[in-house]
Structure 1
Amino acid sequence: MTDEPNYGFDTLQIHAGARPDPATGARQTPIYQTTAYVFRDAEHAAALFNLQEVGYIYSRLTNPTVAALQERMATLEGGAGAVCCSSGHAAQIMALFPLMGPGKNIVASSRLYGGTITQFSQTIKRFGWSATFVDFDDLDAVKAAIDDDTRAVFCESIANPGGYITDLDAISAISDAAGIPLIVDNTSATPYLCRPIEHGATLVVHSMTKYLTGNGTVTGGCVVDSGKFDWSASDKFPSLSAPEPAYHGLKFHETFGPLAFTFHGIAIGLRDLGMTLNPQAAHYTLMGIETLSLRMEKHVKNALEVAGWLEGHDAVEAVTYAGLESSPYHHRIKSICPKGAGGLFTVALKGGYESCIKFVDSLEIFSHVANLGDTRSLVIHSASTTHRQLNEEQQIAAGAAPNVVRISIGTEDAKDLIADLDQALSKA
Structure 2
Amino acid sequence: MKLKVILLALAVALVATTIYAAGKFYNYYEEGQEYMKRGDWDRAVEEFKAAVSLEFKDRPKVRTYGMHFVDYFPHREMGVCYYNLGDTENATKHLQLSQAFSSSKRAQEYLAKLGRGEAPAQTVPTGISREEQEKLAREKAQIERDRKQLEEQMRAVELKKKAQDEQAARKAVEEERRLTAERERLARLESERMAKEKEMMSKGRLPTGALTYDASRVTQVGTRLSLAILPFDSKGGTSEVSSMVQDNMITTLYNLRRFKIMERSKIDEIVKEQKLGMTGFIDPAKAVKVGKVAGVDAIMLGSISSTATGVALTARLIDTETGTIITAKDAFSDRTSLQDIKNMSQEIAIQMYNDVPLVEGYVIRVDPTQVILDVGTNKGMRKGMKMVIYKEGDAIIHPATGEILGKTVTKLGEVLLVEVQEKMAEASILEKEQGQSLAVGNKVVAK
The structure in which a higher percent of residues are helix is 2
Give the TM interval when normalised to the shorter protein: under 0.3
The structure in which a higher percent of residues are strand is 2
* Larger-gyration structure (1/2): 2
TM-score if structure 2 supplies the norm length? 0.26
